[in-house]
Amino acid sequence: MLNEKPIASLADEAEHGYAVQHLANQPRGRGRPPLGHRAKKVESVRLDPALREQAAERADADGISVSEVVRRALREYLRGAWLGYAARCRSLQWRSGGHPCRAR
């Protein structure tokens, strides 16, 4: 229970300021760990129950979260989409003698 003594001590400490390096080295409390140095955005997606179950099973098998499964799947999808786009550009370039994708 807080009474006047600890409150006064905390107020004095706050008035003197805190050493930033001391605060930065404190262990994290509850909550999600950061995903890197930059701020992240939360996106919401709707998954049908079967897909959600598959994602949960994969997460459990790999020892990761469902969110990490979704992040990895999205990275792979985007990389594949880019590779497919690049392959189409190479094919069109070869057939046309130019580089139609650079015109975009």
Within a domain: 94: yes
Give SS3 for 24.
Answer: helix
Within a domain: 32: no
Tally of domains in the chain: 1
For 85, phi and psi rounded to 5 degrees? -65, -45
Q: What is the dihedral of CA 42, 35, 60, 29, to 10 degrees?
A: -100
Which of the residue ranges 26-30, 47-51, 81-85 would you say has the lowest mean pLDDT? 26-30
What is the pTM assigned to this prediction?
0.48
Within a domain: 57: yes
Within a domain: 58: yes
Within a domain: 70: yes
Burial status of residue 11 (CB atoms within 10 A of its CB: 0-12, 13-18, 19 or more): exposed
Within a domain: 21: no
Q: What is the pLDDT of residues 59-85, one digit of tens each?
A: 999 999 999 999 999 998 888 877 777
Nearest-angstrom CA–CA distance, 54 and 57: 5
Within a domain: 91: yes
Give the residue numbers spanning the domain of 83: 46-104
